[in-house]
Amino acid sequence: MSGDTGNHARRSAVEWLASAAPDPGTCRWEWERNPLGVALLPAGRVWDVLVLSSGLGYPTLDVLSRCTDRLGPVLADFGDSRMGFFVPPGTAAGWLATGVRGAGLGSWVVVPHPGRHTSGVRWVVPPDGTGTLTDPAALELAMHEAAADRPGDFTVREADPPG
């Protein structure tokens, strides 16, 4: 990505993520002044987050990366023990899978500034600024494939459709 294109994408990603906040200006202020470079944003309006253990998350991300070029943002927590896949709002409410937690309406997510390195939560796949989210059906299929490669480690059940 050229410098101008990269800066524009980062600004767009900041604006898109901040749009989830009750006060986008405060969110941007937090990112600029918080020594950790993070802000607390509500899930459920612009996106939900499905949280997987990294043992399932990284293999799932690998499968998704081979199957689609429209991958939504993905976070990893401090220590890489969990990964959060950004999916359409409403997905978390109907998602049923052992070991998968959903952050939807009423949940808050620690989100780092896109384009900055932080010492805690970090982007594995940063937001692209267009609002692209991971397709829940593709995520579910990728989880099944990743879990099939590690029998006995995971149980993945079908999700109920949002709504």
Interatomic CA distance for residues 27 and 17, integer angstroms: 9
pLDDT(83) > 90 = yes
For strands 101-103 and 122-125, give the pairing. Answer: unpaired
Question: The pTM is what?
Answer: 0.85
Whether the pLDDT of residue 3 is over 50: the answer is no
pLDDT of 6 reads 53
Classify residue 22 by burial, with Cβ atoms within 10 Å: 0-12, 13-18, 19+. exposed
Pick the closest to residue 159 from 4, 17, 50 (CA basis). 50
Higher-confidence residue of 71 and 158: namely: 71
| pLDDT band at 96; cut points 50, 70, 90 | confident
Residue 1 banded pLDDT, cuts 50, 70, 90: very low
The CA distance from 158 to 115, in Å, is 34
Of residues 136, 131, 162, 118, the one with CA closest to residue 20: 131
pLDDT over threshold 60, residue 48: yes
Q: What is the pLDDT at residue 110?
A: 93
Say which residue, 98 or 53, is predicted with more confidence. 53
Overall average pLDDT of the 27-32 stretch: 90
Separation in Å, CA 58 to CA 26, 80, 143: 32, 10, 10
Average pLDDT value over all residues in the chain: 86
Average pLDDT over residues 26-50: 92
- Max CA separation in the chain (angstroms): 47
Q: Look up residue 33 and give its two tokens.
A: 């002044």
Does 110 or 3 have the greater pLDDT score? 110
Helix (H) or strand (E) holding 110: strand 108-112
User: 44 — alpha (psi -120 to 50), left (phi > 0) or beta?
Assistant: left
Tens digit of pLDDT for each residue in 115-147?
A: 787 778 999 999 998 999 999 999 999 999 998
Q: How confident is the model at residue 66 (pLDDT cuts 50, 70, 90)?
A: very high
Instruction: Find all residues with CB under 8 Å of 58, minimum gap 6, and list them.
Output: 83
- Rounded to the nearest angstrom, the gap between the alpha carbon of residue 163 and the centroid of all alpha carbons in its chain is 20
